[in-house]
Amino acid sequence: MYKLLLVLASAQALKRPQRALAVRGGEIDPITVGKGVVLASGLYGAFDPKGNLDKYGIKAEAKGQAAGRCTAWAQIMFAAALNLDADSVHGQMMYHMLAMMVITEPMSEVFGAPKAPSVIWMAILGAVGYKTLDGSLNKWVATAIFLANGAQCFLSPDSICDMYGIKGANKIVKAMFSLMGGQMLCTGTYLAALIMDKSQSEAFAYAMAVNGVAAAKYAIADADDLKAPKTGALAWAAISAGLAYKALN
């Protein structure tokens, strides 16, 4: 079942409106490249969190691997956002976030966290998604859910652990939660830009700029604490900056 859900998620993320697949000036659309890179990283991390973290020089135990898997699913969710129609993406992303919570809910047992908060959030996400898609709820509500939760995870993973009763969170868990927040901020930034009548290319560029900031923050603030090399994170920052620049030019 778990692998089936992964396949369905990747199929959704690979679907794309024809206009976005157009080759620009003889070059591949940077949105297509960015989507593929983010999706590939997310799928690898979701299938094999230990192997993925090993590639970045992070030796994680069960809790660290569980947090890494959650971060990978946030990447898949970001990639999916880039492929949904701009008119419905805000409501649809509430359902995608709900699905991510269902898929990653078993991780709460690894963290020794209660399930009730997740159930409440699932109900909220379902309701917001439904009301957003039928036009009775402002798209900023769905966007704010991504931005507010993303900012808290990114800037204060300790408060997330306290709020949701996550026990024994170590430095790896907190670093992964911060990166997960960064992915949520990418999605929220993309959604916000679309509401502000930015083009899809502009929205993508701003989201990838945030992705670069999240990677740079990990390299500066977290890598040394984890005794992990900064190379991978800095490569992500460079790739994100390059794609953002290309999308705007």
**How far is the first Cα of the chain from the last one, in angstroms, to the nearest whole number?**
42
Q: How many domains does the chain have?
A: 1
Confidence at residue 26, expressed as pLDDT on a 0 to 100 scale: 53
Residues ≥6 apart with Cβ < 8 Å to 37: 239
Q: At residue 139, does pLDDT exceed 60?
A: yes
Q: What is the pTM of this model?
A: 0.89
Mean pLDDT of 91-120: 94
Cα 208–Cα 247–Cα 53 angle in degrees, nearest 5: 30
Confidence at residue 18, expressed as pLDDT on a 0 to 100 scale: 37
Phi, psi of 24 (to 5 degrees): -110, 120
Compute the distance between CA of residue 12 and CA of residue 155 in angstroms, rounded to an integer: 30
Domain assignment of residue 66, yes or no:
yes
Domain assignment of residue 38, yes or no:
yes
Domain assignment of residue 22, yes or no:
no
Domain assignment of residue 18, yes or no:
no
Q: At residue 52, does pLDDT exceed 90?
A: yes
- Domain encompassing residue 133: 28-248
pLDDT digits (tens, 9 = 90+) for 196-230: 999 999 999 999 999 999 999 999 999 999 999 99
